Structure 1
Amino acid sequence: MFDHLDSLATLLRSPGGLMASHTLARSVLDIAVGPWYLLEPGIGERERVRRHMNVLLESLKEQAQFETGTARTAIRDHAAERIARITQAARAQGFEVRREGDRYKPPFLDPKTPTTTSLVAEMIAPEEPTLGPLFWRLGSAVAHGQQHGISMFFEHADQQVDPTHGDTAAKLQVSSKDTALRCGGAPLAAIATLRRLFHQYGWDASKLNVAVADVIKTWQAVAGVQPRDIPATFL
């Protein structure tokens, strides 16, 4: 997450990388949501273990999908063995194991992990549940090269070709305000995750709070938003 944030900062200070900044901002959301979910305060040791095992089971299943075909390989055998050991141990500890034997989806200790969009909604602004998914979907549209994502960077998608501009049919938007608004989920996700991390380990958060205040103030100024428009959990 921090490597992506550092790279995002580099892009924001450079003359290029406008679209790539949105892709990186979306990656920060994707990366942050995992530890944020695992570090939820007050859930108890058993629930924390269950969540971690579900994340691990999903990772092992994905690892087994790296290779195409149906033949057994060392990677697949290793993943299958670890999955079997986890599910066996989980049953011994009274967990209910679901969806075993599925070719494509991993088993999970009931209940399964919430979707990324539902977690992002809680992480960014539970009082405004559409904000987090909006950040994520905007970044996803750009990352996947979808038309509605790319069209955000053009002032007039139907603008006719100007002969003096060669083949340029429209002008790219390079507004710092627009970029700050669209990529705002990245700093908010990092702040939310860091706060849970500090809470979990009982670290002194005084310096973190100062840094958070500086980040929020700067992003607010660039994005042109009022304090009332910032999720209350970050103020």
Structure 2
Amino acid sequence: MSSDPWKDLASSLQRLPAAYYAQHALHVDVGSIHAPGSPAALECEEEPYAGVWGETPTRDATTDLMLPVTAALDHLSALSTLLTTSGIIYAPLTVARTVLEISVQVWYRLEPGLSPEERAIRNVNVRLKSLWEQSQVPIPGASEESKIRLVSRRRMDEIVLGARRQNLTVHGRSDGRRPPWVGAELKGTGALASECVSSESPALGRMFWRLYSATTHGQAHGLMMSLTPVASGSGAPEIPGIGVGMVELSARDAAIQCAGAPLACLAMLERLFAHLGWDETELRKAKIGLLHTWDRISQLPPVSGP
């Protein structure tokens, strides 16, 4: 613990990527991302949909997680940097939103107890959503049926056809107004945040998600949190015409408002480590340090993490 609360918040965040990358490097060096006997290893022994969605759809359901995990940790590191950058007010919340959104989706895909079939289907639904969104991207100067759109829709059709051949229920179409999906529809970020961020206070996760989204989208109720009334003639900085001025974000404010990001990221990593059979010693140490630091600086009653 230092005398600078901003540095304490930032350094506590950096311990999560450090714990992850240490284990990742260790397992990559021995040639397998998961440990022998882990849930992931046992699932990979079964490939019930081999040849339907590639040769190893169950294994892919685990390996496909590595990229979003990296993205979540990259943004967590960016949040750490922002917390030690003076004059920043809104950016930490927009970056916190990205951390939370990616983390809860990965957390959902890592749900313990899923069968190899269920995990493969969830991963396929994530792919369908990505392909559908890619097919909606306008290409400047290109025809409506651009090559990228055609390839995306053809790949969606292949996934849907494979599901139907397995007698799985398929909803929607590749050229519809929303992505097609197989079986149960993917949950939205708000619902997942309620489950992921705090098991004891489900409303907490949804509150963070709405707060971050409001700020990211420039909505008044999000932006106004960083404004304060300015008395006439006080000489304080004022936004012309509305009688309010910007307030510097305090370390306590940051610890309260940004907490949803590290809590979601921690929950994601705990599920990931358990699924892959990784040594959790350093992750547990990082968790204890993070929760202690953010509780101390927020000056709020301790909130149970994931």
Match of 2:298 in 1: 223
Provide, for residues 179-222 of structure 1, a one-character-per-residue CA deviation record: whole Å limited to 9, x for no partner. 11110001101100000110111111011101110111111111
What are the residue-to-residue correspondences of 1:22-37 with 2, within 5 Å? 22-37=93-108
Percent of matched pairs sharing the same residue: 37
- Show the 5 A alignment for 1:113-152: 113-152=186-225
Report the alpha carbon displacement of residue 99 of structure 1 after superposing the two structures with TM: 1.3
CA RMSD of superposed structures (Å): 1.7
Matched residue pairs, number? 229
Q: CA deviation at 1:225?
A: 2.0
Superposition TM-score, scaled by structure 2 size:
0.71
Structure 2: 5+ residue stretches without partners: 1-71
CA distance in 2, matches of 1:174, 1:182: 10
- Counterpart pick for 1:202 among 277, 295, 304: 277
Aligned counterparts, 1:80-99, within 5 A: 80-99=153-172
Structure 1 residues 26 and 101: CA distance shift in structure 2, 3 A: closer
Q: In the alignment, is the contact (CA less than 8 A) between 2:157 and 2:174 conserved in 1? A: no
The question of whether the paired residues in 1 share the 8 Å contact of 2:193 and 2:206 is answered with yes
- Shift of the alpha carbon at 1:136? 0.8
Residues in 2 aligned to 1:187 and 1:76: alpha-carbon distance in whole angstroms = 36
Does the CA contact (< 8 Å) of 1:11 and 1:18 recur in 2? no
Query: 1:221–1:185: structure 2 CA closer, same or farther, 3 Å change rule?
Result: same
Aligned partner of 1:105 among 172, 178, 187: 178
Structure 2 distance, partners of 1:205, 1:123, is 19
Does the CA contact (< 8 Å) of 2:88 and 2:249 recur in 1? no
Counterpart in the other structure of 1:164 = 235
Q: Is 2:77 the counterpart of 1:77?
A: no
Cα distance 1:121–1:70, how it changes in 2: closer, same or farther (>3 A)? farther
Q: Is the alpha carbon distance of 1:31 and 1:135 closer, same or farther for their aligned partners in structure 2, counting shifts above 3 Å?
A: same
Q: Which amino acid aligns with 1:149?
A: G
* Residue 90 of structure 2: aligned partner: 19
Q: Provide the rounded CA distance (Å) in 1 between the counterparts of 2:104 and 2:81.
A: 23
CA contact (8 A) 2:156 2:174 kept: no
- How many angstroms does 1:173 deviate by? 4.2
Q: TM-score, normalised by structure 1?
A: 0.91
1: CA distance, partners of 2:168 / 2:231:
62
**Divergent runs of 4+, >6 A:** none
Q: Does structure 1 residue 177 correspond to structure 2 residue 252?
A: yes
